[in-house]
Amino acid sequence: MAKSISLLWGAGSPPCWRVMIALEEKKLQGYKHKLLSFERSEHKSQEVLEINPRGQLPALKHGDNIVNESCAACLYLENQFKPQGTKLIPDTAAEQALMYQRIEEGLILTEKLNSVIYYEWFVPEEERHDSAVKRNREALATELKLWEGYLQKVAAGSYLAGGFTLADVIVFPNVAYAFRFGLSVEHYPKLAKYYSLLKDRPSIKTSWPPHWLPSSQGYDILRDL
């Protein structure tokens, strides 16, 4: 089955990483994949555009079916390969509610992280304002504190929605990204604990962004948040 799956991906991209974790959890190892370079704009290549007209990664095919948006791809994979590997959607209504809620909130977290980390990438020089940078950073801090609160409420050492679910598949790469960009373990102890709980999980370790490995040290843009 894994042979009918192909993934175009970029290293260090949380959306790509989500899909790779889902593929590992569903025991779909052996899928075809190709690492492309954002720096060389390979995500805008014809090869990608034929699968994903947005020119973004991931670009995922399963047979003739295409699912490029990361949460969509994870939901699709779980639903297509339900009996295989980890069960990623829980049974109870309470856990499902929490899982779906956290999945979509994960997209908000991604956006707020990007608005700080990639401000200079998204905003042309003549449109940049210190006031906007400050506001984006405050919004990200508020967002991260919300997640600290969520983790405060769940049982100690727990995942986001009971057992390990699609919510963790989708949100963990954001959390790893935040720490990669310097988020303080002291300021966000629950997120740090969650990071520690998950970082050595086989599906996550195997799919860890390759260029993050040599230098465990990332950047410090989020250091003072």
Task: Print the binding letters for residues 48-87 with a copy of itself: x by CB under 8 A, - otherwise.
Answer: -----xx-------xxxxxxxxxxxx-xx--xx-------
Phi-psi region of 157 (alpha: psi -120 to 50; beta: other; left: phi over 0): left
Q: Looking at beta carbons only, is 149 or 210 nearer to a copy of itself?
A: 149
* Residue 30 found at the interface with a copy of itself (CB under 8 A): no
Q: Looking at beta carbons only, is 61 or 180 nearer to a copy of itself?
A: 61
DSSP 56-111: -S-EEEETTEE--SHHHHHHHHHHHTTTSSS--S-SSHHHHHHHHHHHHHHHHHHH
d(CA 173, CA 14): 5
30, 41, 146, 219: which one binds a copy of itself (CB under 8 A): 146
d(CA 142, CA 148): 10
Q: Measured in whole angstroms, how far is the alpha carbon of residue 132 from the centre of its chain?
A: 25
23, 103, 113, 117: which one binds a copy of itself (CB under 8 A): 103
Binding site for a copy of itself (CB under 8 A): 53-54, 62-73, 75-76, 79-80, 93-94, 96-98, 100-101, 103-105, 107, 124, 126-127, 129, 131-132, 146, 149
